[in-house]
Structure 1
Amino acid sequence: MSTLIDQAVQARLIVSAPPARAVPARLRYERSDPFAVHIAFPPAASLDGAEVEWTFARELLATGLNTSTGCGDVQVWPCGADRTVLEFHAREGVAMVQLDTAELRRFLGRSYELVPAGTEAGHLDVDSDLAALLREA
Structure 2
Amino acid sequence: MADDPPVPLPAELRYTAADPYAVCLSLGAHSAVPVDWVFARSLLADGVRRPTGSGDVVVIPGPRCHPDTVRVLLRTRNGAAVLDVATRDVSAFLHRADALVPPGTEQRHIDLDHVVERLTAGIE
Q: State the SS of the aligned residue for 1:71.
A: coil
Q: State the SS of the aligned residue for 1:31.
A: coil
For 2:119, the aligned partner's letter is L
Q: Which residue of 1 aligns with 2:45?
A: 62
Q: Which residue of 1 aligns with 2:59?
A: 76
Structure ranking higher on relative contact order (CA contacts 8 Å, 6+ apart) = 1
Alignment map for 1:10-89 (pairs within 5 Å): 16-42=2-28, 50-79=33-62, 80=64, 81-89=67-75
Q: Which residue of 1 aligns with 2:104?
A: 118
TM-score (norm 1): 0.80
* TM-superposition CA deviations, 1:49-84 (whole Å, max 9, x none): 952110111000000001111111110101143101
- In structure 2, how many angstroms separate the alpha carbons of the residues matched to 1:108 and 1:43? 19
**5+ long unaligned stretches in structure 1:** 1-14
- In structure 2, how many angstroms separate the alpha carbons of the residues matched to 1:40 and 1:95? 13
Q: Count residues with an aligned counterpart.
A: 120
- In structure 1, how many angstroms separate the alpha carbons of the residues matched to 2:96 and 2:59? 20
* TM-superposition CA deviations, 1:29-63 (whole Å, max 9, x none): 01010000000112899xxx952110111000000
State the shift of 1:18 in Å: 2.8
**5+ long unaligned stretches in structure 2:** none
Root-mean-square deviation (CA), in Å?
2.1
Identity rate of aligned residues, in percent?
A: 37
Q: State the SS of the aligned residue for 2:82.
A: strand
TM-score (norm 2): 0.88
Q: When you count strand as a share of all residues, which structure comes out higher? A: 1
State the shift of 1:99 in Å: 0.3
